[in-house]
Amino acid sequence: MALVLWAISVITFVIFYLIPGGDPALRIAGRNSNEALRAQIREDYGFNDAKPVQYVRLMEKTFNGQLESYSDRTNVRERLLQGVPATASLILGAAAIWLFFGVLLGVISAVYAGRWPDRLLTIFAITGISLPEFWIGLLALYWLTYKVSWFPPGGYAPLTAGPVQWAYHLVLPWATLALLSIGFYSRLLRSNILDTIHDDFVRTAWAKGLSRRRVLGRHVLRNALIPIVTVFGLDVGASLGGAILVEKVFGLNGVGQYIADSVGSLDLPPILGTTLYGAFLIVAFSALVDIAYAFIDPRIRLQA
């Protein structure tokens, strides 16, 4: 994990200085500033030092919580902590939806493979995978908010405002974010089930006279879920880094929206902080996925 995070921090730092217009003095002084002011800022902030020295200084500020935005001088860690509740609420709720319906529809498609339920769900899955999230979100806002006023026009209501208001403001973002993954997960699970159902251990279970529900639930589905767990762990980790498009469309003001605003202004400290934050979550969830394998497949055991 340490090596991965170090590599990502170096790559992010290097790319920033390769981008035209990535001068941090320009971010601090403003686009209408003169060269004398920018030169003074470079001297005061140490931007004239060697790039390795600047990198080390930036990483020290990152880990001691003193990293500040070049554009508005806000503390990056505090801003991330402000955005985490909205992003976590969005991702965890959407993840529960796409996992439940993805598994449900995948099992139905596999059980009725080649028949009309499978074909109908195939059309639904491919449609969901093909539609961009921001487009779905904009349509949902237009028809369900501005046309019929069933849902609020965006924004995030904290859980302290009440569970009902919290969920009411997140229904459309949850559905928008989950729709694409439901289609993908259902197709992936269908394929895994149809491949697993012909394995030797499944034929042995049938030969022992076990019921259809027991064979599908305890033997086929349990083994077919391993790739699903892998993808789910990576998806949740990556999404917790910031569901940028969905947060931007619905104005949730979470980590994803913070990333989008920072990239738009080429502000290195927030970009570096949020990138490391997202990378840590992906690496951490990857480790959790490896541990989860032992509970899903009895053939897998963690060893010291």
- 3 state DSSP class of 242: coil
Contact criterion met (CB below 8 Å) for 206 and 215: yes
Written as six digits, the tokens of 70 are: 């070049």
pLDDT of residue 68: 84
Burial class (CB in 10 A: 0-12, 13-18, 19+), 238: middle
What domains can be seen in the chain, in order of their start residue?
2-63 (no CATH), 79-296 (1.10.3720.10)
pLDDT averaged over every residue in the chain: 83
- Structure confidence at residue 170 as a pLDDT band (50, 70, 90): very high
- Alpha-carbon distance of 214 to 209, in angstroms, equals 10
pLDDT of residue 31: 66
Residue with tokens 């879920």: 225
* Highest mean pLDDT, choosing among 2-16, 85-99, 121-135, 283-297: 85-99
| Residues whose CB is less than 8 angstroms from the CB of residue 279 and which lie 6 or more positions away in sequence, other chains included | 4, 5, 8, 241
- Alpha-carbon distance of 31 to 34, in angstroms, equals 9
Contact criterion met (CB below 8 Å) for 154 and 71: no
* Alpha helices per DSSP H over the chain: 2-18, 24-29, 35-45, 51-63, 76-111, 116-130, 133-141, 163-196, 200-207, 212-214, 221-240, 244-250, 255-264, 268-296
pLDDT tens per residue, range 104-161: 999 999 888 889 988 999 898 888 888 888 888 889 888 998 888 888 888 888 888 8
pLDDT tens per residue, range 200-240: 888 888 788 877 778 887 778 878 888 888 888 878 877 76
Mean pLDDT, range 75-88, rounded to an integer: 89
In 3D, which of 24, 87, 95 has the Cα closest to residue 57? 24
